[in-house]
Structure 1
Amino acid sequence: MTARPEESRGEAAAGDLSASRSAGLLAALVAELGATAVLSGPERPARNASDWSTLGAQAPLAVVRPATTEAVAAAMRICAAHGVPVVPQGGLTGLCGGARPLPGSVALSLERMTGIEAIDPASATMTVRAGTPLQTVQEAADAAGFLVPLDLGARGSCAIGGNASTNAGGNRVIRYGMTREMILGLEVVLPDGGTITALNTMIKNNAGYDLKHLFIGAEGTLGIITRLVLRLFPKPACTMAALCALPDYESVVGLLAAARSGLGPMLSAFEVMWPDYWETVGAMPGVRVPLPQGHAAYCLVEAQGTDEAYDAPRFQAWLERQAEAGLLADAVVSRSVADVRTFWGVRDACSEFPHVLGPHEPFDIGLPVAAMDAYVRACKAALAERVPGAFALFYGHIGDGNLHIVAGLRGADPQPKDAVQEVVYGLVREFGGTVSAEHGIGLTKKPWLGHVRSEAEIALMRRLKAALDPDGMLNPGKVV
C-alpha cells in the first residue's frame, strides 16, 4: 500500500495489516503482558471502539490494558517493532475523536493504571497514575485537606491522564487556569517505547527545557502520559454562588468586570447561558431553574472564600451593589451548599442533551469575550438560513473566553454535520476565535485547524511530530 503524501506510515500500516502480522503481534503482546491484558476478537470491549464524539465506532485490532508504566513501554515497543500504530485511551469522554481507534490499530487503554501514589502535604503535591478518574483525584485531595480545582461534568468518567493530554479546562479556569497550570511533572512513554520519568515536585525548576509541555495538550500524539505530579491548592472554607438574570449582553460584560474587581481572587467561576439554553433546561425533568424565562442572559457567579463569616456577607454586598448599578434584572443567591449544587445542576444539565435533543453536533470554541453575543446572533441567523429548522443552544464559561454550542436538526438522520460545521467554524474565523478552547482537535476539528493556526505554526507542529514519532506509530492522523 502506498501512503498518501499526508499519510504517515502508522496510518498506512493500520489499514494494511495481514493476518500473519496481526497474529504475530498479538502473540508477542500476550507473551509480554499476559492474556488478561490483551483482548482481541469477540473479547474486545465495545466501549473501546469510540469516544463521546459523533464519529461512530471503529473496532481496533486489539485492546491492550497494561497495569504499569513498564508494561505500557513494552506494549509500545512491540507495536512499533511490528509497525502497528497505537491509540492511547483514557476515560473515552473526548468529543473530537482523539481516542477513536484506526482500523488495524491497537487501542492502549490506561483503565488499569489507577491509584494515588503519594500526597505530600509539605510541597502540596499529589503523584497519581494517569488512568485515575478525575473524581477520585478530587476526593483524595479533599480527604487530605486540599483542592484539585480541575472540574468537568464528566468528572466521574474522565481520566486525569486524558485531562492532561487534552489540556482540559472546565469550570474554574478563570481562577486556577487550565490543566497545564496544575501539573508539575510527568512520566511519559515515547513512541519507540522509551520512558521519560520527570516527576518534578517543585514549582520552580528552570533546569533546561520544560519537556512536560510537549505532552500536555498533545492528545497522545507525542507520548503516552502514565503518571503525573499535580499541584494541590488550599481547600476553600466556603463557597457562595448566585444565579443572575441580565437585561442584555453589555450587562454580562459589566458584571464580569465587576466580579473580577470586586471579588478578586475569590471569583472561581463565571458561567453564562443564553435564553434558548435556559428554556431547554427548564423543561427537563429533575432540573429546577430558580429564575423565570424571558431575560437576555443568565449568569452563574461562584466565589470561594477562606472565612464564611466574612466572605459570605462580602459576596452578598457585592451582589447588591450590582443590582443597584442596574446590571441585574433578577438574581437568587445561595444560602447553603445544597443551593450551590442546585445552581450548578442547571449548568451541568447539558450532559443530558443527547437524551433530550437527540442527535446533534457539540462545539467547543473560544472567542473574545466582548464579541460573544454578536457571534451568537450571527451564528443563529446563518444556521437558520443554511439549515432551516436547525436548533442551536449557547452556553459557556465566558470568563475565560470559552463558548459551547450544541446544534442540529431534530429528526434528521444523518445530521447535517458539514453544513453546521461550516457555519460555526467559518464564523469563528471571522470573529478571530479558536475552533477548540478545551477539548482538543482530534479528528473532527483537524480540517478546521487552518482557520486558527498559520501555515508556519502547523508546519512546526508537524516537525515536532516527525521528530518524536518519525514513523507515525502513536495516534497517527490526529491533530495535524
Structure 2
Amino acid sequence: MEPLIAQLRQSIGPESVLTGADATRRMAPGSRSSVLLLPRDTEDVSRALALCHQARRPVVAQGGLTGLVHGAVCGVEEVALAFDRMRRIEEVDVLNRCLTAQAGVPLQAAQEAAEEVGLMVPVDLGARGSATVGGTVATNAGGTRVLRFGMMREAVLGLEAVLADGTVVDSRGKMLKNNAGYDLKHLFIGSEGTLGLVTRVVLRLRPLPRGHHTALVAVDGFERLARFLGVMEANLQGELTSFEVMWRSFYDLMTTPPSRGRPILPAGCEYYVLVETMGPRAEEGGETLLAALAQAESQGLIAHSAVATSALQRREMWGLREELDPLKRTGPVFSYDVSLPLDAMEDYVARVKARLAERFGAAHHCHVFGHLADGNLHLSIGAGGSDAHGDVDDIVYGTMERQTSSVSAEHGIGLLKKGHLWRSRSEAELSVMRVLKQALDPHGILNPGKVFEVQRPE
C-alpha cells in the first residue's frame, strides 16, 4: 500500500490523502481501511482511480454515510474515497429547469438552491441534510414523493461518472429526450458504486408548488385503507404527492413518552395515514383535499382526520413519520425495506409477525410503516439481539413471494442483502449484471463484495 499512497499524494496532493486515525474516524462505521482519499474534482477522481486500477487496489466510494445496507463499508485492503470536498453547486439553470451539482452536495443544499429561484428538486427523504446528491443517485434513492415524482432515476437528466480505470464518461446533457443510442447514465444510477463513481449530476427541477397541504387520517381495516388510497388518487390525481402509512404500533411508539411526538389523532386505530398534496394554487388545493377527505368519510373509510392549518402543524405530522430514533429505544433493531403488490401487504405483514412470534415469543417487536402507495414497506424489528439477524432475515425475506416482490425497495443491496438478491432477480438477470461488471470493471476494484459476488481476477 505504501508505494500507492506515495503515488496518490504526488498525483492529487498530500492534503487529499489521509491515513491512519485521520482516515478511519471519517469512514463508514465498521470500516477497517486506513486510507481515505478526498478528491477536489473529477480530475482528481480520475487520476486516483487510474492509479488504484493499475495497482489492483479496491476502492469504495463514500457519500453522506446515511445508507442502511453497509454499502460504504471498507475492508482493510481497500481504499476509501469520499466526496466531502466536492460540494459545489455549479449551475442552477432556470430556463432549462435543471441544476448541476458535484457528487458531495447534500440533497438539502440542492433543494434550497432550487427553491431560491422558485423551483424544486422533486426527490425528498428524511436524511436530506446528510445524504449527498451522488449517493442518492448511486443508490437510486426513493423517499416520500415517489408516488408523484418517481425515484432518483426520474430526476436525473444527465451525469458524469469515472470508470474503474479512470476513464471519464460525461453524459451531462440537459435534454429530457435523447434517444441517440444507449442511455448510459442509467448504468450508474442504482449501481451502488460498483460500475463507476458518479462525480457530477444534472437534476431535473420542477416548479415550486404554491399550495402545500397535509392531513393525518386514521383508518380501521386494510380493505378500507386500500379503498381510501383509491379515493385520494381519483380525486387528487396530479396533486397527490405522498401517502405514508404508519401501522398502529409504530404510531403508538411515536406518540408516547419519551418520544417527542404528540397523539394528533386518538390511539387505537389500525392505520394512520399522512396524505400530502402539492399544487399551483394555495387555497384551491386545500379545498380539493378537504373535498376528497369528505368523500372518503361519507363512504365510511375514515375513523378520524386532522388537516394541518400551518407549517408548524405540518412539521408535527411529518415528525411522527420521520423522527425514527424512538425505534431504537428498546435496543438494537434490524431495518428492512421491501416492495410488494398492494394486495399482498396485509397477509405478508401478518405472516411475518406470526413467524416472529413463533420464533422469538414475547422477546421481539415489529413496527411497520412506509410508502404504501408505491408498494414500499419498512419493517423495524427488534428480536434476540444482534445474533438473531440471520433468523430475522430469513423470516422477512423468506415470507415474500420470489420475484414478485423485492428485498430492496429503495435502500439498495450493499453487503447486508446480497445473500438474498436471488429472491428478487432471476439467474438471467444476475448473469447480465455480471457481464456489465466485468466489462466496466474487469479487475473488480470498485466496491468489491457489494451487491452480488463476482470472481475477481488474480
1:323 is matched with which residue: 297, 311, 335? 297
Deviation of 1:352 after TM superposition, in Å, equals 4.5
Q: CA deviation at 1:38?
A: 0.6
Question: Could you tell me how far apart the structure 2 residues matched to 1:279 and 1:138 are?
Answer: 32
Structure 1 residue corresponding to 2:17, chosen from 38, 62, 69: 38
In 2, distance between residues paired with 1:369 and 1:357? 30
CA offset digits 1:183-232 (Å, max 9, x no partner): 01010000001101111001011111100000000000000000000000
Please tell me whether the aligned partners of residues 194 and 447 of structure 2 are also in contact (alpha carbons under 8 angstroms): yes
Aligned residue runs from structure 1 range 125-204, under 5 A: 125-204=98-177
Shift, 1:42, TM fit: 2.3
Aligned twin of 1:78: 51
Q: 1:438 aligned to 2:410?
A: yes
**Residues 416 and 333 (structure 1), Cα distance of their counterparts in 2 relative to 1, 3 Å cut:** same
Match of 1:27 in 2: 6
**2:334 pairs with 358, 361, 379, which one?**
361
1:458 aligns with 2:430: yes
The match for 2:75 among 93, 102, 111 is 102
The 1:196/1:431 distance shift into structure 2, 3 A limit, reads closer
Are 1:419 and 2:391 an aligned pair? yes
Deviation at 1:337, TM superposition (A): 1.6
Deviation at 1:336, TM superposition (A): 1.4
Give the direction of change, closer, same or farther, for the CA distance of 1:49–1:247 in structure 2 (3 Å limit). Answer: closer
Paired position in structure 2 for 1:117: 90
- Whether the 8 Å contact between 2:172 and 2:202 is mirrored in structure 1 is yes
Of residues 237, 246, 252, the one that matches 1:273 is 246
Which residue identity is paired with 2:48? A
Select 1:479's aligned residue among 443, 451, 458: 451
1: CA distance, partners of 2:399 / 2:364: 17
- Residue number among 381, 384, 396 corresponding to 1:407 in the alignment: 381
Q: CA RMSD in A?
A: 1.2
The 1-side partners of 2:330 and 2:203 are apart by: 37
Whole-angstrom distance in 1 between the partners of 2:403 and 2:165: 41
In structure 2, the partner of 1:4 is none
SS at match of 1:332: strand
Q: Which amino acid aligns with 2:170?
A: T
8 Å contact 1:161–1:227 — kept in the other structure?
yes
Instruction: Determine if contact 1:375/1:431 at 8 Å carries over to the other structure.
Output: no
The match for 1:205 among 159, 170, 178 is 178
Q: In the TM superposition, what whole-angstrom CA distance separates every residue of 1:22-71 from its partner, at most 9, and x where no partner exists? A: 11011111111122111111221424043xxxxxx122130000010000
Task: Report the AA paired with residue 289 of structure 1.
Answer: P
1:257-272 paired onto structure 2 within 5 Å = 257-272=230-245
Q: Which secondary structure does the structure 1 equivalent of 2:323 belong to?
A: helix
Q: What secondary structure is seen at the aligned counterpart in 2 of 1:376? A: helix
* Paired residue secondary structure (2:43): helix
Unpaired runs of at least 5, structure 1: 1-21, 51-56
Q: How far does the alpha carbon of each residue in 1:88-126 deviate from its partner, in whole angstroms, 9 at most, with x for none?
A: 111111111111112210000011111110011111010
Deviation at 1:413, TM superposition (A): 4.2
1:169–1:190 distance in 2 versus 1, CA, 3 Å: same
Distance 1:357 1:74 in 2: 47
Contact 1:238 1:306 in 2 (8 A): yes
Distance in structure 2 (CA, Å) of the matches to 1:332 and 1:431: 39
Residue matched to 2:455: none
Q: Which residue of 2 aligns with 1:313?
A: 287
Q: Distance in 1 between matches of 2:345 and 2:26?
A: 36
Question: C-alpha separation between the residues in 2 aligned to 1:360 and 1:211?
Answer: 38
Contact (CA 8 Å) 2:250, 2:368: kept in 1 or not? yes
In 1, are the aligned partners of 2:114 and 2:120 still within 8 Å (CA)?
Answer: yes
Classify the secondary structure of the residue corresponding to 1:44.
Answer: helix
What secondary structure does 1:429 align onto? coil
Aligned to 1:12: none
Q: Percent identity?
A: 44
User: Which amino acid in the other structure matches residue 174 of structure 1?
Assistant: L
Q: 1:218 corresponds to which residue?
A: 191
Alpha-carbon distance in structure 2 between the residues aligned to 1:248 and 1:49? 41
Q: Is the 8 A contact 1:49 1:60 kept in 2?
A: no
**1:460 corresponds to which letter in structure 2?**
V
2:338 is paired with a residue of what secondary structure? strand
Using a 3 Å threshold, how does the CA distance of structure 1 residues 66 and 430 change in structure 2: closer, same or farther? Answer: closer
> How many Å separate the matches in 1 of 2:385 and 2:302?
42
Q: Is the 8 Å Cα contact of residues 211 and 279 (structure 2) preserved in structure 1?
A: yes
